A and B are shown apart, each in its own frame.
Chain A
Amino acid sequence: MTAYLKLDRIDKSFARGSQVSEVLKDIRLTIDKGEFVSIIGHSGCGKSTLLNLIAGLTKVSKGAVLLEDKEVDSPGPERAVVFQNHSLLPWLTVYENINLAVSKVFGRTKVRAERHEWIMRNLDLVQMAHARDKRPAEISGGMKQRVGIARALAMEPKILLLDEPFGALDALTRAHLQDAVMDIHARLGSTMIMITHDVDEAVLLSDRIVMMTNGPAATIGEVLSVPLARPRRRIELASDRTFLRCREAVLKFLYERHRFVEAAE
């Protein structure tokens, strides 16, 4: 069986003048359709660079990103990104922000009424239909992120890429949104890759957790499968042995074997 998404021996280095800094080295990973994969690591280890490579926003130096056996090297709506700071266009309403994506992606295949229905369905999915005529400045941070997720989902992506989507949110809002993402993942069966630095979040949401070593020349240190049945409920999991074992494994990786060295920053 061929993998849905394959990262084939990827190297990434940035050149600044004559100085070349190697960020990622020999990244190999395959992801199946419908899988939820988290990428975790200390800050500065190149997690976001890896996500940008998959999104096509930056080009690989060596190796290739293969989606359904086809190489991708430029961005496109089939690999939609949910940005850390939502990146909604402030001059458009919630509805118009999603409409921008929908009319570009489905402008030829759907008529206006179908597009409207599709926008509203995605807004319903993140429970934001009530705010359709508000501008981003008028809604809370959590709501903005919900709209960002709706915009990405509205592109009907093959893979949804989430770049620390809940990093800027308070703990309660973050929990709500994690539940929303789990719910969407269960309902749509979408393939998702999420960057995070939150161990609990990674274990709660993921089928597999990809743990990155520290840079420079970071690579995948370990991949942990999370054999927890879905749907997962955070309160039941808090004392679940498998959950605690996974959590401990990630913590051990991050804080014992690959301790973040402050001086390296």
Chain B
Amino acid sequence: MSIQTVEDTKVKAFPVKPAEIIAFTAKARRRIDPLAIVGRLATALVPPAVVILILLVVWQIACSSPTASLPPPSQVWSEAYDLIAHPFFDNGPQDIGLAWRVLISLQRVAIGFGMAAVVGVALGALVGQSVWAMRGLDPVFQILRTVPPLAWLPLSLAAFRDSNPSALFVIFITSIWPVIINTAVGVRNIPEDYRNVARILRLNQLEFFVKIMVPAAAPYIFTGLRIGIGLSWLAIVAAEMLTGGVGIGFFIWDAWNSSRLPDIIVALVYIGVTGFCLDRLVATVGVFVTRGTTAK
């Protein structure tokens, strides 16, 4: 007798009582219910919309007096309307829309963070796998990871003698630590049984890395990547303020120097929304890639 037959009886036995209910929900599921979708959207969007509205009103009232040092939302809207309405305008080398600036910064983050992800996972695997590597490297990592991103900038400017590679290096060095540390923890937590399976199959180092280590540690790796991309977005804005160029960070510095406060506020919104999207992107990729890895 097989397991299959046991299963069959289970399935048969189950829907006997609530048969009507099952037929009903099956019908309802087939049609898309517009009311339900609107309702779900409303519960997700109304509370934040209300909160934002209240904040805007408070801000408007607080900054409306003639002595206020910061512009109220109405002034931001009227003075920075160009930036809000046309994110993609392009009027020459230094006069471009904020979306372009964000894209340029994102490109830097992509390169710096991409390198950090590759090197970080490799180093983390080494530290997680080898006791000697851990003893030697872990104290170094623990000290270096507490160094603030911008403290690296003078050194990297001196080393690279150019602003763009320096900015990339700052992103790299900022975002690599959580990737290394989380990967190492993930690799150390690989169940002994998976290692035994690999040993019995005589998987070589590379096969073990690709087929066992990376998938088994994937949930940890993605936690590290998610923290890392958040840090690198923090670092790029600060680094660009100092190194110049056309990124969103430099735009804020430039606006400050020419006293365009409304522009700065619009840029902050762009930065926040982009950071949020980056975080969500990595989280979504993580959920997709690590599907099934944590289940027992």
Contact = CB atoms under 8 A, between A and B. Distances in A.
B193 A85 contact: yes
A127 to B, nearest CB: 5
Nearest to A87: B193
B211 interface: yes
A123 to B, nearest CB: 12
Interface string A39-76: 00000000000000001110000000000000000111
Nearest to B214: A91
Interface in A162-201: 173, 176, 179
Interface stretch (B141-149, B196-204, B272-280): B196-204
A215 interface: no
Interface residues of B, number: 28
A127 B199 contact: no
A137 B202 contact: no
A90 B296 contact: yes
Contact of B3 (A79, A85, A104, A142): A142
A48 B207 CA distance: 27
A140 to B, nearest CB: 7
B201 A127 contact: no
Contacts of A80: 200
A89 interface: yes
Nearest to B2: A127
Contacts, number: 76
Contact of B202 (A77, A81, A128): A77
A137 B154 CA distance: 51
A176 B3 contact: yes
B196 A137 contact: no
Contacts of A81: 196, 200
Interface of B: 1-4, 6, 191, 193-194, 196-197, 199-203, 207, 211-212, 215-216, 218, 290-296
Given A76-B202, A83-B196, 16 more contacts: A57-B199, A75-B196, A75-B199, A77-B202, A79-B200, A87-B193, A91-B293, A104-B207, A105-B201, A127-B3, A137-B296, A143-B3, A155-B200, A155-B201, A173-B3, A176-B1
Interface of A: 55-57, 74-77, 79-81, 83, 85, 87, 89-91, 100-101, 104-105, 127-128, 130, 135-137, 140, 142-143, 146, 155, 173, 176, 179
